[in-house]
Chains A and B, each alone.
Chain A
Amino acid sequence: MELSGGEVLMEALKEEGVEYIFGYPGGAVLHIYDALYQQNSVKHILVRHEQAATHAADGYARSTGKPGVVLVTSGPGATNAVTGIATAFLDSIPMVVISGQVPSRLIGSDAFQEVDCVGITRPCVKHNFLVDSLENFASTIKKAFHVATSGRPGPVLVDIPKDLTTPDIKVPFEYPDHVEMRSYSPPELGHPGQIRKAVDLILSAKRPMIYSGGGVVLGDASEQLCALTRELGFPITQTLMGLGAFPASDKQNIGMLGMHGTYEANMAMHECDVLVAIGARFDDRITGEIEKFCPYAKIVHVDIDPASISKNVVVDVPIVGHVSQVLDAMVALVRESSRRPEQAELDSWWAQIKKWQDEDSLGYDKTADIIKPQAVVESLWRATKGDAYITSDVGQHQMWAAQFYGFDKPRRWINSGGLGTMGFGLPSAIGVQLAHPEATVACITGEASIQMCIQELSTCLQYNTPIKIINLNNRYMGMVRQWQEFGYEKRYSHSYMDALPDFVKLAESYGHVGMRIDKPGDVDDAIKEALSLTDRTVFMDFITDQSENVYPMIEAGKGHHEMRLNPWKEPA
């Protein structure tokens, strides 16, 4: 079979089982778009901005575990995609980005829409390629998918000069069935000796703590994590990225940890004597002040990336390997062993945790006559029975979503944890909804974040993705305002969102349903009504309390045991 470059790409995507490609056409990819037009196995989703293409592909990837695929043109097409590529990179999301490049003979001449795309993306991709010949094209695509999806996943970019996709230049096509890369061999199996050492330490714990992260979600190891946690009866906390890997509704789950984690999770981190870190990377938003981190704990760390081990926190028992395999091995060893941690010690540890839980660190005023943002998230949780796919943008609403929407399943909570990208929520929800057409998909956002990719309301209409947008509108960049309140004596420098659009009319002008809700008593019914419109995108503009802060909070320089708690207390 002889194919042109554009056809090679389409065949390669088909071989990779690609269902959707998110993109935006332009000069350097015209040949590719022509090949795309003449096939029907890969469906193209036309976004309104390339950043959204990467976020949509990202949402697709996070919710399915399959790589997201993006197609953009050279120059501004590629630079617009960079934010989304970096977002995927920081959260280790498998993604393949195909970018057009100016013709080979023009590279380096400052040609129209030329940018050194491989150079610009280098620090925010797992790897990238500039395809140098049509003969190497198919094998490069194969490598790109292999690198993106194996080991610690990540985005891979393939830059294709336009001349390689000229329709009348054809090469014999054969898609390789495996990849040979002498310089790339991701670790798979954890070292048995280390696993044994870890289990010995775990079984000797008096105040144990399991801390799991996004690696468990990415590594599809939720089942194994549940098995180990239940077998041991230990308390477990998750990072922002790890939510859902262990059910929020399970009693052993003591909530999220870190800057806006629960009081009990952070106190337990501080006091524990054995910490089992699984697929987590000791990010600064998790550890608080590193000098004060887990002062009494011996630490086990399971991660697929050797560079994550002892990067921020030096650990006692490192295990490099695939989390599901390592956890399977741990569960087997624990079940074989007759040893168990001292039950009396464990009971008193749980009793201590219970006391911390009594602090009710997520409590807020439910009697207020203005809508509390937390109440909206709780209402959504009740109405969707905790079973929706939730995307979010970045800021206070993201934290409230994480705190108040109890995720019981992995891959349901889709947010930009590492890069913290405002504008992520709506486009990523499009990717999620396309991957799960029957599911309820809600985007919890704020009036600042939503405006960073608001143009995608148009994409929602074109592809009929009935997303429910929950806009927690406090007329502030809430998280910025909160930090200014705490750290800058309430000098609210440029955190006020002035001249906001009428979101109801805006939604309507894009062909969607718009709703404005400003009374606490209307929240439940409005959400029910929106959810009943199963074939419509609904923009719900909730006018919320401007002064509400995210509590509890670990401020800069503080440890887990020094949380700032909500000054509001439930009246006795």
Chain B
Amino acid sequence: MRHVISVLLENESGALSRVSGLFSARGYNIESLTVAPTNDPTLSRMTIVTIGSERRIEQIIKQLNKLVDVVRLTDLTEVQFIEREIMMVKVRAVGEGREELKRMTDIFRGRILDVTESSYVIELTGDDHKIAAFLDTLGAENIIEVVRSGATGIARGEKSLKV
């Protein structure tokens, strides 16, 4: 099953590689990993999307907790949570297709960031289902380039991950 794990870790050089190194050393699957500092500059927040059996996920969480740079973590998949990812996609936009692309972008609540005679750069925010659906809609033959941020996540309600 797909799990979204949020990690607060010391904002120190090398902390990221401890986490990524753990995943590669132990053969854990890693679908995406994002990291950036938080409002507390001494802390970074990382969101890891991984896939595995319940036992595997339990091990991943325990092994992450063992890392000395990890301050706290939570498996968002166990609570109600919001997941967002940002994608920029460069698509071929010529002739009649240009208008259709504009409409699709509006329907998915995306934005066109850059326009040339033959291409658009479209920004889209959403969870992985929405992004996949949009890419499907665009059609592989029209896509020139895709860049995705990887997922970020936060729990709904008053629950929070902080020190």
- A interface residues (Cβ-Cβ under 8 A, vs B): 118-119, 122-123, 126-127, 130, 147, 181-184, 305-307, 309-311, 314
Whether B21 and A310, one on each chain, are in contact in the complex, defined by CB atoms closer than 8 angstroms, is no
In the complex, residue of chain A having the shortest beta-carbon distance to the beta carbon of B14: A118
**Given A130-B13, A306-B62: A123 and B68 interface contact (C-beta under 8 Å):** no
When distances are taken between beta carbons in the complex, the residues of chain B under 8 Å from A305 are 66
Interface flag for B63 (CB, 8 Å): yes
The residue from A147, A181, A183 contacting B9, defined by CB atoms under 8 A apart: A183
Given A123-B25, A307-B59, A314-B55, 6 new contacts (CB under 8 A): A119-B17, A147-B68, A183-B69, A183-B70, A183-B71, A307-B66
Whether B71 and A182, one on each chain, are in contact in the complex, defined by CB atoms closer than 8 angstroms, is yes
Of the candidates A126, A305, A307, A309, the one having the most CB atoms from chain B within 10 angstroms of its own CB is A307
- Distance from A81 Cβ to chain B, minimum over Cβ atoms (Å): 19
Whether A122 and B17, one on each chain, are in contact in the complex, defined by CB atoms closer than 8 angstroms, is yes
When distances are taken between beta carbons in the complex, the residues of chain A under 8 Å from B63 are 307
* Per-residue A-contact encoding for B44-79, CB less than 8 Å = 1, 0 else: 000000000001001100110110111100000000
User: For the complex, what is the distance from the CA of A119 to the CA of B14, rounded to whole Å?
Assistant: 8
Sample of 28 A–B contacts (CB below 8 Å): A119-B17, A122-B18, A122-B21, A123-B21, A123-B25, A126-B68, A127-B68, A130-B13, A130-B14, A181-B68, A182-B71, A182-B163, A183-B9, A183-B10, A183-B68, A183-B70, A306-B62, A306-B65, A306-B66, A307-B62, A307-B63, A307-B65, A307-B66, A309-B62, A310-B55, A310-B58, A311-B59, A314-B55
When distances are taken between beta carbons in the complex, the residues of chain B under 8 Å from A307 are 59, 62-63, 65-66
The residue from A130, A184, A310 contacting B68, defined by CB atoms under 8 A apart: A184
User: For the complex, what is the distance from the CA of A126 to the CA of B13, rounded to whole Å?
Assistant: 17
- Distance from A150 Cβ to chain B, minimum over Cβ atoms (Å): 11
- B interface residues (Cβ-Cβ under 8 A, vs A): 9-10, 13-14, 17-18, 21, 25, 55, 58-59, 62-63, 65-66, 68-71, 163
User: For the complex, what is the distance from the CA of A183 to the CA of B9, rounded to whole Å?
Assistant: 8
When distances are taken between beta carbons in the complex, the residues of chain A under 8 Å from B71 are 182-183
User: For the complex, what is the distance from the CA of A183 to the CA of B17, rounded to whole Å?
Assistant: 17
- Distance from A142 Cβ to chain B, minimum over Cβ atoms (Å): 14
In the complex, residue of chain B having the shortest beta-carbon distance to the beta carbon of A320: B62
User: For the complex, what is the distance from the CA of A310 to the CA of B59, rounded to whole Å?
Assistant: 8
In the complex, residue of chain A having the shortest beta-carbon distance to the beta carbon of B70: A183
User: For the complex, what is the distance from the CA of A311 to the CA of B62, rounded to whole Å?
Assistant: 10
- Distance from A239 Cβ to chain B, minimum over Cβ atoms (Å): 21
User: For the complex, what is the distance from the CA of A127 to the CA of B67, rounded to whole Å?
Assistant: 8
- Distance from A409 Cβ to chain B, minimum over Cβ atoms (Å): 31
User: For the complex, what is the distance from the CA of A123 to the CA of B14, rounded to whole Å?
Assistant: 12
User: For the complex, what is the distance from the CA of A309 to the CA of B62, rounded to whole Å?
Assistant: 9
- Distance from B57 Cβ to chain A, minimum over Cβ atoms (Å): 12
Of the candidates B18, B59, B68, B163, the one having the most CB atoms from chain A within 10 angstroms of its own CB is B68
User: For the complex, what is the distance from the CA of A183 to the CA of B72, rounded to whole Å?
Assistant: 7
- Distance from A181 Cβ to chain B, minimum over Cβ atoms (Å): 7
User: For the complex, what is the distance from the CA of A307 to the CA of B26, rounded to whole Å?
Assistant: 13
In the complex, residue of chain B having the shortest beta-carbon distance to the beta carbon of A308: B62
User: For the complex, what is the distance from the CA of A184 to the CA of B65, rounded to whole Å?
Assistant: 9
- Distance from B38 Cβ to chain A, minimum over Cβ atoms (Å): 14
- Distance from B20 Cβ to chain A, minimum over Cβ atoms (Å): 10
In the A-B complex, the 7 residue pairs with the closest CB atoms:
A307-B62, A127-B68, A183-B71, A123-B25, A184-B68, A306-B62, A307-B63
